[in-house]
């Protein structure tokens, strides 16, 4: 099974999935995770700077435009799990609709996060994993 861990630098788990710089992909087999590759995030609207209201959000205003997660889900089509520290409920639902389960991670290291997932020790995301997204 392949899993993706959201990361900005290939070493630490990202705080926000849509804005992360990329994804570390692992192969999980027999409760172990082997790192395969790092995929640069060129597919989310946040990563491309295309979200309306980005400057408002940076200024502390609660303006957020809804956008499709299709490109992100397509880019991770070969993975059946996404591990991250923060994601909104719409992304959780969009991933689930394509058969990808989302898990939230309390640790900073991507390798530790992948290992915890492989051992069955991460909680599944049931909704919002970050504070700034509304339901």
**Can you list the domains of the chain with their CATH numbers?**
2-49+68-118 (3.30.420.130)
Q: Name the residue among 6, 37, 35, 36 with its Cα closest to residue 22.
A: 6
Q: Is residue 116 within a helix (H) or strand (E), and if so which, with residue range?
A: helix 110-118
Q: What is the pLDDT of residue 14?
A: 95
> pTM value?
0.80
pLDDT at res. 133: 33
Query: Quick one: pLDDT at residue 49?
Result: 63
The 3-state secondary structure of 72-103 reads: HHHHCCCCCEEEECCCCHHHHHHHHHCCCEEE
pLDDT at 57: 44
pLDDT for residue 119:
96
Block means of pLDDT (10 residues each) for the chain, length 135 residues?
96 90 96 96 71 47 59 92 92 92 95 97 70 33
Q: What pLDDT, on a 0 to 100 scale, did the predictor assign at position 44?
A: 72
CA distance 80 to 98: 9
Token digits for 20?
């992360």
**Residue 84: closest CA among 30, 31, 32, 44:** 44
């Amino acid at each position: 099974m392949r899993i993706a861990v959201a990361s900005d630098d290939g070493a630490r788990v990202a705080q926000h999935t849509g804005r992360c710089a990329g994804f570390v992909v692992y192969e999980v087999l027999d409760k172990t995770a082997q790192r395969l590759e790092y995929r640069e995030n060129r597919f989310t609207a946040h990563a491309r700077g295309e979200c309306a209201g980005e400057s408002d959000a940076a200024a502390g205003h609660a303006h957020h435009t809804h956008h499709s997660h299709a490109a992100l889900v397509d880019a991770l089509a070969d993975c059946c799990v996404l591990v991250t520290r923060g994601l909104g409920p719409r992304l959780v639902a969009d991933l689930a609709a394509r058969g990808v389960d989302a898990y939230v991670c309390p640790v900073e290291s991507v390798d530790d996060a992948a290992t915890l997932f492989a051992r069955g020790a991460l909680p599944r995301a049931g909704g919002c994993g970050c504070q700034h997204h509304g339901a």
